[in-house]
Amino acid sequence: MILAEERAAVCEYARRLAADGLVVGTSGNISVRSDDLVAVTPTGVDYANMRGEDVPVVSLEGAIVEGALRPTSELPMHLSVYGEAADPDGAPVNAVVHTHSVYATAVSTLVDEVPPVHYMLAAIGPSARVAKYATYGTLELADAMLAALDGRRGCLLANHGTIAYGESLAVAYNRVQQLEWVCQVWLIARSAGAPALLPGDEIRHVMEKLKGYGQAR
């Protein structure tokens, strides 16, 4: 079985999506890239019972290379990220996570950008935009997402959810978690009044600080 490690990771993180409340049922999807191949969640499969062999492997053009199940209907978004998205710091784009998380989806119906209520928004970029709504699984949605991702590592999808990428699945997953948390904080603060927001200069300052965050490997 090709990409056995990557397919196992897709299963692991798909189950985490459900456990962490970032999706309901079989919604949301995950992919991992290895050279010219992509392991991606299948469509309509219960994540709790998903096995590595259930995870299809596709080419960067979308052709199925291995696996009996059809890939997620959101494959155009995943392949568009691998083909056209560029990390602001030049890091490789090796994983994509798409959620239907509650707070971020709610925020996507209210604003065009996530309000900078907390400095961890800098994990995404100078801001997190909301991509224009388009029907799921379409090239129109993929194009709207790419426009929102310009210079960013993630975005909200209007009336839909979130998407983020990273050099690893762990990094991409952390970014959708951060997006959801910032959206939750803003909605709670907004329900009580008019929350104070951070200036753009502070978010950019934190972006620089985050470049050296964590342990050296």
Cα–Cα distance for residue pair 129/166, rounded to 1 Å: 17
Q: Which two tokens stand for residue 90?
A: 């030049």
* C-alpha span between 30 and 104 (Å, rounded): 17
Instruction: Give dist(CA 130, CA 44) in Å, integer.
Output: 26
Q: Is residue 208 annotated as part of the catalytic site, yes or no?
A: no
Choice among 6, 74, 202, 208 that is catalytic: 74
Instruction: Report the alpha-carbon distance of residue 153 to residue 172 in Å, rounded.
Output: 8
The gap between the terminal CA atoms of the chain, to the nearest Å, is 30
- Which token pair is 134? 């388009």
Active site residues: 74
